[in-house]
A and B are shown apart, each in its own frame.
Chain A
Amino acid sequence: MSLKTLAATAFATLLLSVPGAAFAEAWTYADGSGTTVTVNHVPTRIIASQDAAAGLIPLGIRPVGIYADSAIADAKALEGLDLTGIEIIGEAWGEVSIEKAAALKPDLIVGEWWPLDNTWSGGADVVNALKPLAPITGPKQGASIVTLIEDYEKLAASLGADLAAPEVAADKAAFETARDKFKAAVATKPDLSALAVWAGTDALYVAATEGSSELMDFASWGLKLIDPVIADDRGYWETLSWENIDKYQPDLILVDNRSKITMETAKAQATWTTLRAAAAGQVTDWPAFWLRNYAAYATELDKLSAAIAAADVSIGD
């Protein structure tokens, strides 16, 4: 073997032995804020907001760190997900531990883009803390949870997730079944009207459909949601004094289930039962603002379908 061939062989061996370094494909993603993020390899060490984690984990992408809006036990979006081995680097809105985040050596931060507030999940403080560590990206909050989940599917696939994996496919199939059941339940009760609320000790807050992606989904699948009169120029809620809560009389009341206290508070009010649907027990959960994956969506839709099927439509106005 000549010296020349030896050198050539050595060079070729060298080339083959360094996969994923200089010759790895760069990863790019066009995100919800309208920018395209580029990383020179496929990111594997991801820090995710609680909502992004709830979108990615069921698709097989496990972040190394999560920053939550509240105590992790109270994060409704993460309920039921296996978080073992994932570091929690923030448990209050707008707060994140920079030391913990840096120690995780992230190569990507995934949050959600809030077009109305023009910022990522967690707000400016979190963005400023995390941006120096790795690029921040993610899907956009919009008019549908389904679209949002599909955005997570695209993101997860680009990060190497196998969307055809049996458990992933099963979640999606369960959702599609639940959605069809929901549509069918609504179709058999065309006159049913629903009202989505949050109950405080001070007042009952009635939600506008366009303020929440899942309510817009429900409406697009045929559910008739009562839209409140919003006095404020900003915001998606009508505030009703507990003296005035019978302003609307729906057939079915959806109560925000981010915290179970909301339902207890509603039931503790003397006038709660002046809503005829409340008196008749036609009250169910509203999965308010937290749905990010097919499995959770399927569970919540099944509850709603059952409530719709059981509802007496002559109760409301």
Chain B
Amino acid sequence: MSPGGTSAGLPPAARAGGFVLLAVALVVVLALSITVGARPIALSDIWNAVTAFDPTQTNHKIILDLRLPRTLVGLLVGAALGLSGAILQGATRNPLADPGILGINAGATLCVVLGISVFGVTQLSGYVWLAFLGAGAAMLVVYLVASLGREGATPVKLALAGAAVTAALTSVTSAILITNVQTLDQIRFWQVGALTGRTTDILMQVAPFILAGIVLALLTSRILDGLALGDDVARGLGLKVQRGRAMVGFAAVILAGAATAAAGPIAFVGLTVPHLARAFTGPNYRWILPYSMLLAPILLLGADIVGRIIVPPGELQVGIVTAALGAPFFIALVRRRKLAEL
């Protein structure tokens, strides 16, 4: 099976068409995310909010200060999760790889918990840098541990090191939370994974990182297609395997770290979306990556919109919706396709 082969998915000519369709679907979801929410707001009001903003109008405030940043955070976080999942699965040749399995979420969570309990950080905007720091440190430790030994960071060693580091960090987090109810109270909503309460500040803090990460991730498709053939073949093709894997890891940390920083650890999106993308594209990362980048925010924002209207006058957080929808969806996907073909 060669990279770019036609063994699965849409015929090559249809892939570009599929990509355009996804882009259209994404635009529709973005529009829905602005117009649909816990509070019904007339379309004319939404139009006025954009064209003639009046800060005394509650509806205008809700559109510009709540729904717009929330939608843009959802777009960026979704794209980041989808891409980071896809490149991690490619680089580790592990169909179950996602930000959760390589210690990224656990590291981000521990750092946020420490920030709350030790340094007294109280607001979401303060969590961003902590989550970033934690994600980067955890990924670095995972990579260093996996690199020990002659053969370097092989996929299996990365997965094992990731699982071990995740377990270690999670137990420290639990130890802090069990003895500190106030920290638990604060982190509860962050830990669920949510787009609620994400302000323009938070958007501005993470946007540069996610945009840079997206560019970097899209550049790795050649390396990933090479790695898919096995390390030895990739080396034979003239690819620098270790350097390539490090670059992928770096892009993944930026993407997943920023996504987790902005929205909390959201499960299943990074894991599921690349598999869904492969169903359309076949095993070709030049297509898997852009497809994942569009599919993930469609799913994330779609789940968020469902959560907004399902329990009025409250809301269900997106992390709960993706977990509830993602699990059965993923099982169905596993049963339909052989995921081990990476």
**CB neighbors of B among A266-317 (8 A):** 268-271, 274
A210-244 to B contact mask, C-beta < 8 Å, 1/0: 00000000000000000000000000001111111
| Residue A259 lies at the interface, judged by CB distance under 8 Å to chain B | yes
Q: Are A244 and B189 closer than 8 Å at their CB atoms?
A: no
Q: Total interface residues on B, using CB and 8 Å?
A: 32
Bound together, the chains give a CA A141 to CA B26 distance in angstroms of 53
One of B79-87, B151-159, B192-200 contacting the partner:
B192-200
Chain B stretch 62-76: residues in CB contact (< 8 A) with chain A: 62, 65-67
Interface size class of A (residues with CB under 8 A): 20 to 34
Stretch at the interface among B42-50, B228-236, B269-277, B307-315: B307-315
Closest to B64 in A: A270
A contact residues around B134 at 8 Å (CB): none
- Asked whether any CB of chain A lies closer than 8 Å to the CB of B52, the reply is no
In the complex, residue of chain A having the shortest beta-carbon distance to the beta carbon of B37:
A243
Closest chain B residue to A73 by CB distance? B182
B189 touches A241 (CB 8 A): no
Contact in complex: A242, B313 (CB < 8 Å): no
Assembly CA distance A244 to B62 (angstroms): 9
Knowing A201-B197, A264-B123 are in contact, say whether A241-B315 is a contact too (CB < 8 A).
Answer: yes
Residue B58 CB within 8 A of the other chain: yes
Known contacts A70-B182, A265-B123; A202/B66 CB under 8 A = no
Across the interface, A242 reaches (CB within 8 A) one of B182, B186, B196, namely B196
Whether the Cβ atoms of A244 and B196 lie closer than 8 Å is: no
- Which among A246, A264, A268 has the greatest number of chain B C-beta atoms within 10 A? A268
Task: Output the least CB separation between A210 and chain B (Å).
Answer: 20
Cα-based distance from A93 to B314 in the complex (angstroms): 28
Interface status of A51 (Cβ within 8 A of chain B): no
Q: State A91–B179 Cα separation when bound (angstroms).
A: 7
Is B38's CB under 8 angstroms from A71's CB? no
The complex places the Cα of A47 from the Cα of B340 at a distance, in Å, of 59
* Those of B30-56 within 8 Å (CB) of chain A: 37-39
Q: Cβ of B181: which chain A residues have Cβ within 8 Å of it?
A: 69-71, 74, 92-93
Residues of chain A contacted by B122 (CB below 8 angstroms): 261, 264-265
Some 29 contacts from A to B, beta carbons below 8 A apart, are: A69-B181, A74-B181, A92-B178, A92-B180, A92-B181, A93-B181, A95-B178, A201-B196, A201-B197, A202-B197, A239-B313, A241-B38, A241-B196, A241-B312, A241-B314, A243-B67, A244-B312, A244-B313, A246-B58, A247-B313, A261-B122, A261-B182, A261-B186, A265-B123, A268-B124, A268-B199, A270-B61, A270-B62, A270-B65
